[in-house]
Amino acid sequence: MGASANHALSDVNFKGEIHVRTENLRVRLNGTEILKGISLDAQRGEILSIIGPAGAGKTTFLRCLNRMAELDLDLEISGSILLDEHSIYKREVAMLRRQVGMVFSVPVPLPMTVYENLTFGLRLASSSRNNNDERVEKALRAAYLWDEMKDRLDEPARNLSGGQQQRLCLARTLALEPRVLLLDEPCSGLDPISTARIEEALRSLKSSLAIILVTNNVKQAARASDRTAFFLFGELIELEPIEKLFTTPRDQRTADYITGRFG
């Protein structure tokens, strides 16, 4: 599909406040297009999931939204990315990444205590210690981790289980009070109980920020999101509310993917 098709796909009736928008986003690597003119919105009050096979461009799309893709000097990026209708390229990068936080597939706790992990970014932002304590508790509660961690704040973060470490990384991002939350396969290495806790946390968080969830788990997308976008070979093939995309997809390629015929 070309740019005109992408425009049509993004013409959905939104009910929330749009926080982040891409318009004709293209990414090239050594002349090969990784993203082919993606136009897509994410709004406060929803979880937008992105599904698609390996190599579809899902992670590259996320990394463009907080300018992490620019760390790869071989990538050529064009098109518009807007945060609250203003270009992200007019924002200072450190500030942008506080506003557009990202959680990765593998939890990476810092070699510090639980508390120090949560306040590391806050200290860089020169917050007061008292305010830090309040934000630590708020972030841990939002990540459904407070009851497990309130008596373990001085413990090394690497002592935690894998599921706890991932929720700690989520809480560390939330402590900075982002407007947009990006998640790249956050449950890929987690057991079903930890996955359920992450999904429960996301459902509670969506009322206050825009959430974009990249997942290879079609069932998770159907279970946890409000709208789902299907990417294939760098193209946005289809974007619909979950009740439509997973029951009556418009494109046969979408139907083939969600039913496991390829991918």
Q: What is the pLDDT of residues 146-168, one digit of tens each?
A: 999 999 999 999 999 999 999 99
Looking at residue 229, which CATH number applies to its domain?
Answer: 3.40.50.300
How far apart (Å, rounded) are the C-alpha atoms in residues 128 and 146? Answer: 21
Q: How confident is the model at residue 10 (pLDDT cuts 50, 70, 90)?
A: very low
Q: Per-residue b/e over 27-49, b at no fewer than 16 CB within 10 Å?
A: bbeeeeebbbbbbbbbbbbbbbb
Three-state SS at 253: helix
The predicted structure's pLDDT at residue 131: 80
Three-state SS at 167: helix
User: Is the Cα torsion angle 236, 241, 244, 246 positive or negative in sign?
Assistant: positive
**pLDDT digits 0-9 by tens, 218-235:** 999 999 999 999 999 999
Q: What is the mean pLDDT of the chain?
A: 91
- Is 215 within the bounds of a domain? yes
**pLDDT digits 0-9 by tens, 35-87:** 999 999 999 999 999 999 999 999 999 999 999 999 999 999 999 999 999 99
The predicted structure's pLDDT at residue 126: 63
The predicted structure's pLDDT at residue 123: 83
The predicted structure's pLDDT at residue 261: 84
- Is 263 within the bounds of a domain? no
DSSP assignment of 18-84? EEEEEEEEEEEETTEEEEEEEEEEEETT-EEEEE--TTSSHHHHHHHHTTGGGGSTTEEEEEEEEET
Q: How confident is the model at residue 16 (pLDDT cuts 50, 70, 90)?
A: low
- Is 217 within the bounds of a domain? yes
Confidence check: pLDDT of 3 > 50: no
Residue 213 Rama label (left phi>0; alpha psi -120 to 50; beta):
beta
- Tokens 């841990």 sit at which residue? 140
- Is 236 within the bounds of a domain? yes
The predicted structure's pLDDT at residue 122: 86
Q: List all residues 6 or more positions away from 80 whose beta carbon is below 8 Å from its beta carbon.
A: 21, 22, 23, 24, 25, 87
Instruction: Residue 96: give the domain boundaries.
Output: 3-258
Q: Per-residue b/e over 195-204, b at no fewer than 16 CB within 10 Å?
A: bbbbbebbee
pLDDT mean over 3-29 = 65
What is the number of domains present in the chain?
1
Which pairs from 94-97 meet CB under 8 Å and 24+ separation?
94/124, 96/66, 96/67, 97/66, 97/67, 97/68
Q: How confident is the model at residue 19 (pLDDT cuts 50, 70, 90)?
A: confident
The predicted structure's pLDDT at residue 7: 33
pLDDT mean over 184-207 = 94
**pLDDT digits 0-9 by tens, 124-143:** 776 555 588 999 999 999 99
Amino acid present at 239: L
Residue of 100 and 17 predicted with greater confidence: 100
